[in-house]
Amino acid sequence: MLLVTAVIISYLLGSVSFSMIIAKKLRKVDIRQHGSGNAGATNTLRVLGIGPAVTVLLLDCFKGVAAVWLGLGLTGGDPLAAGAAGLASIIGHNWPVYYGFRGGKGVATTIGVLATLVFWQALIAGIAAIAAIAVTRYVSLGSLIFIAGTTALTLFMISDNTYLYILLIITALSFWRHRTNISRLVSGNESRIGEKAGSGGKGN
């Protein structure tokens, strides 16, 4: 019962869209109607600028961190509950009950979840992801490298498979949510960071 409670609360927490809230506050707009149409930090950068984007990034990351700690706290440290609660927060971000189940792609929330579950693997993969973004200016590519890299490193660095199963689900979900980005990356039409949506593709 405590596991179910943690998952439900984490989903509701994940459903809080800070990009929507900040866009409404600053511009009185639905951010999903501008830029790439995605309710997330990258599109917030595109539409509102760096300050609001960093704020959204940090707050969305915090949702993932809080969900994992909620799962641990309610169940006395059950790793399955921690992973399930983290996954629920990502699902909430992607399909938020408060916004008609139309949200973002969950990258920032995933960062918070993975960094809390498997910090060192996430750190190493994060460095590789930042390097990829710096070289290519493709945020979507860096996001996928981070998530897949964290999962791969966990496979080789941790003998307990509890988190690995959760990470595999998160990775599969992320790649599915980024399927159009992957298609544009392959075709060379993906938007680079700093470009307006539509100059190369819709982006994140």
Give residue 79's identity as a one-letter amino acid code: P
Q: pLDDT category, 185, cuts 50, 70, 90?
A: very high
For the entire predicted model, the pTM comes to 0.91
Q: Where are the domains of the chain?
A: 2-187
At residue 198, the pLDDT reads: 46
Which pLDDT score is estimated for 200? 44
Model confidence band, residue 203 (pLDDT cutoffs 50, 70, 90): low
Q: Calculate mean pLDDT across residues 158-184.
A: 91
CB 203 within 8 A of CB 37: no
Query: With 50 as the cut, is the pLDDT of residue 18 above it?
Result: yes
Question: In the structure, what pLDDT confidence band is assigned to residue 172 with cuts at 50, 70 and 90?
Answer: very high
DSSP the chain: -HHHHHHHHHHHHHT--HHHHHHHHHHSS-GGGSTTS--SHHHHHHHH-HHHHHHHHHHHHHHHHHHHHHHHHHHTS-HHHHHHHHHHHHHHHHS-GGGTT-----HHHHHHHHHHHSHHHHHHHHHHHHHHHHHH--HHHHHHHHHHHHHHHHHHH-S--HHHHHHHHHHHHHHHHTHHHHHHHHHT-PPPTTSPTTSS----
pLDDT at position 196: 58
Instruction: Tell me what pLDDT residue 1 has.
Output: 84
Q: Would you say residue 150 has pLDDT above 80?
A: yes
pLDDT score for 202? 56
Q: How many CB atoms lie within 10 A of CB 71?
A: 31
What integer best gives the mean pLDDT of the chain?
A: 92
Nearest to 170 by CA among 115, 132, 131: 115
C-beta separation of 140 from 185 below 8 A:
yes
